[in-house]
């Protein structure tokens, strides 16, 4: 193996491929908050979305491109001129921009999806790259379902797009089908047979359908890949993508073997993971590598004894390295605005004055409910404030009547965006059911509750709790989130948050059809 330490660039697609996870619909503010954190993490490229998918996607990519200065912003595009035009419209003001254009190359896709010959696929690919080069200096080309494409034909396609001006070549394992040995061999064959391959970046993009996304990614790196595509927490379609935090820590922990590192700020990993989990509603499993709650927990007596004597007996990564540290309780009801601002800056937030004032108000209200306020409490509050979407309905008052021998009844008062207050009451099978039926009545929205889950942010009887709901209305599926020390209040806030999202998205759909 070459002893020169290589730098592997990171292409994050949390905001594009990750958002394609069922039920995940991020608002513009949520996408911006994730993008800023990815920038702090040190991601080289942020795929902000698919500009041609909807006016909302185009707008969010444009906003991210205007605000992020230290990462290249990417828009996905089919090999279609109109898609490329939309990508340029979204990215033309970016400090650094990249077009990511793709077409499927495997036999099954050529026959059943595209209905194209091999020659037609290459013709379309070359035309798209050449057209994209009129706008973009940096063009990435992806051979969709590349891992199931005949290697001689894959070489032919890659040669054609390299000659056309593509500077990054991505070989996706689109359906998570391949194995590490097979996948690594693809990169070796391209390196050996494509003229000029030394002048482009080779990128890998792996899905986790067989649980091998990270293993396949590491095999590609061993075989010469210089860019890794994936998502935070491994979220994405079906079983998800390669987890970027796992790849980064595998390279760092086994640099002796891989002789390759990323430029990520590893101590930002935990915070990035928590942010993405909160805003998407996709809870990180406790046994998840690197960022799971049990990743650094030792329950076995033998393990505990070993760690106490010498930490490396059972711990190959120090938790501090990925940003997991003890939660210091330093703020309370007597803390002032200046101390609160300094704490926010310590946690990585730099808020505008209006946002700071709103967050401080929420902090003071929480202090009336909790004696001690932890870093996690503050992060949850601020993320909740920054993630707000335009509200047609906001919760004004909630009252419940419940007993083990009585019918649960909820009375709710909401304020409409025009200032009008509305009240309704309903009974249900339980407190949450009665709350949701009352909200359905007061908003006059018909929705289907597909999922409901509660997560404790901190510990203790007065812990902040988060509630996530997934609602469906017609062809729209959205995630709602509520935070409170009262889990029933959080339940109501989450449901209203989801209904407000549906109203916003419904408007977006109408706009797209005009």
Report CA torsion sign: 368, 374, 378, 383: negative
Per-residue pLDDT of the chain (514 residues; tens, 9 = 90+): 456 899 999 999 999 999 888 778 888 888 999 999 999 999 999 999 999 999 989 999 999 999 999 999 999 999 999 999 999 999 999 999 999 999 999 999 999 999 999 999 999 999 999 999 999 999 999 999 999 999 999 999 999 999 999 999 999 999 999 999 999 999 999 999 999 999 999 999 999 999 999 999 999 999 999 999 999 999 999 999 999 999 999 999 999 999 999 999 999 999 999 999 988 889 899 899 999 988 876 544 544 455 456 666 767 888 889 988 754 445 666 677 777 887 777 776 777 788 788 888 878 877 777 666 777 777 777 766 665 667 889 999 999 998 888 899 999 999 998 999 999 999 999 999 999 999 999 999 999 999 999 887 666 666 678 899 999 998 888 888 888 888 999 999 999 999 998 898 787 433 332 2
Rg (CA), the chain: 25
Q: pLDDT value at position 46?
A: 98
- Select from 3.30.160.270, 3.20.20.70, 3.50.50.60, 3.30.70.890 the CATH code of 393-513: 3.30.160.270
> For residues 52 and 206, what is the distance between their CA atoms, to the nearest angstrom?
23
Strands of the sheet containing 393-401, edge to edge, are 393-401, 409-416, 421-427
CATH number of 6-280: 3.20.20.70
How does DSSP assign 165-176, residue by residue? Answer: T-SEEEEEETTS
Q: Structure pTM?
A: 0.82
> For residues 373 and 356, what is the distance between their CA atoms, to the nearest angstrom?
17
> For residues 51 and 356, what is the distance between their CA atoms, to the nearest angstrom?
31
- Give me 412's structure tokens: 């709710």
Q: pLDDT value at position 461?
A: 65
Q: Where are the domains of the chain?
A: 6-280, 295-324, 337-385, 393-513
Q: pLDDT value at position 513?
A: 28
Q: Tell how far CA 281 is from the center of its chain.
A: 10
Q: pLDDT value at position 307?
A: 46
Q: How many C-beta atoms surround the C-beta of residue 28 within 10 A? A: 16
Which three-class secondary structure state does DSSP give residue 401?
strand
> For residues 111 and 245, what is the distance between their CA atoms, to the nearest angstrom?
36
Q: How far is the CA of 105 from the CAs of 4, 159, 179, 241, in angstroms?
A: 34, 13, 19, 20
Sequence-separated (6 or more) residues with CB below 8 Å from residue 25: 19, 476, 477, 478, 479, 501, 505
Q: Which of 25, 31, 57, 30 is nearest to 46 (CA)?
A: 31
């Amino acid at each position: 193996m070459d002893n020169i330490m290589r730098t592997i660039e990171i292409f994050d697609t949390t905001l594009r491929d990750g958002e394609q996870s069922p039920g995940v619909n991020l608002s513009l503010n949520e996408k911006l908050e994730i993008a800023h954190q990815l920038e702090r993490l040190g991601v080289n490229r942020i795929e902000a979305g698919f500009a041609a998918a909807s006016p909302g996607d185009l707008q969010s990519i444009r906003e991210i491109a205007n605000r992020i200065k230290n990462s290249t912003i990417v828009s996905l595009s089919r090999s279609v001129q109109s898609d490329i035009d939309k990508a340029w419209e979204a990215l033309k003001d970016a400090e650094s921009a990249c077009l990511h254009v793709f077409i499927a190359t495997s036999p099954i896709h050529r026959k059943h999806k595209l209905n194209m010959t091999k020659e037609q696929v290459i013709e379309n690919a070359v035309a798209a790259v050449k057209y994209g080069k009129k706008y973009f200096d940096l063009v990435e080309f992806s051979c969709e379902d590349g891992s199931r494409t005949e290697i001689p034909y894959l070489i032919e396609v890659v040669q054609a797009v390299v000659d056309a001006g593509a500077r990054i070549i991505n070989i996706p394992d689109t359906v998570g089908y391949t194995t590490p040995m097979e996948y690594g061999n693809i990169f070796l064959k391209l390196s050996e047979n494509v003229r000029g391959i030394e002048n482009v970046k080779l990128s890998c993009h792996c899905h986790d359908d067989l649980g091998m996304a990270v293993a396949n990614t590491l095999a590609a790196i061993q075989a010469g890949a210089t860019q890794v595509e994936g998502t935070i927490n491994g979220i994405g379609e079906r079983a998800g993508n390669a987890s970027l935090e796992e790849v980064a820590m595998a390279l760092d922990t086994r640099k002796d073997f891989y002789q390759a590192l990323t430029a990520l700020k590893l101590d930002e990993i935990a915070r990035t993971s928590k942010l993405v989990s909160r805003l998407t509603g996709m809870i990180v499993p406790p046994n998840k590598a690197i960022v799971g709650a049990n990743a650094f927990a030792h329950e076995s007596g033998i393990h505990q004894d070993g760690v106490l004597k010498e930490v490396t007996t059972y711990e190959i990564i120090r938790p501090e390295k990925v940003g997991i540290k003890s939660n210091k309780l330093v703020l309370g009801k007597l803390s002032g605005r200046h101390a609160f601002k300094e704490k926010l800056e310590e946690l990585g937030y730099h808020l505008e004055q209006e946002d700071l004032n709103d967050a401080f108000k929420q902090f003071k209200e929480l202090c009336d409910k909790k004696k001690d306020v932890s870093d996690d409490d503050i992060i949850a509050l601020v993320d909740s404030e920054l993630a707000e979407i335009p509200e047609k309905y906001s919760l004004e008052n909630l009252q419940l009547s419940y007993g083990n021998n009585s019918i649960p009844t909820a009375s709710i008062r909401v304020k409409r965006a025009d200032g009008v207050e509305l009240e309704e009451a309903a009974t249900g099978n339980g407190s949450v059911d009665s709350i949701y039926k009352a909200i359905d009545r007061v908003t006059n929205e018909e929705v289907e509750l597909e999922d409901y889950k509660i997560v404790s942010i901190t510990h203790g009887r007065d812990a902040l709790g988060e509630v996530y709901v997934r609602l469906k209305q017609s062809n729209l599926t959205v995630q709602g989130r509520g935070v409170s020390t009262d889990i029933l209040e959080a339940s109501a806030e989450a449901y209203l948050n989801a209904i407000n999202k549906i109203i916003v998205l419904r408007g977006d759909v109408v706009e797209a059809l005009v």
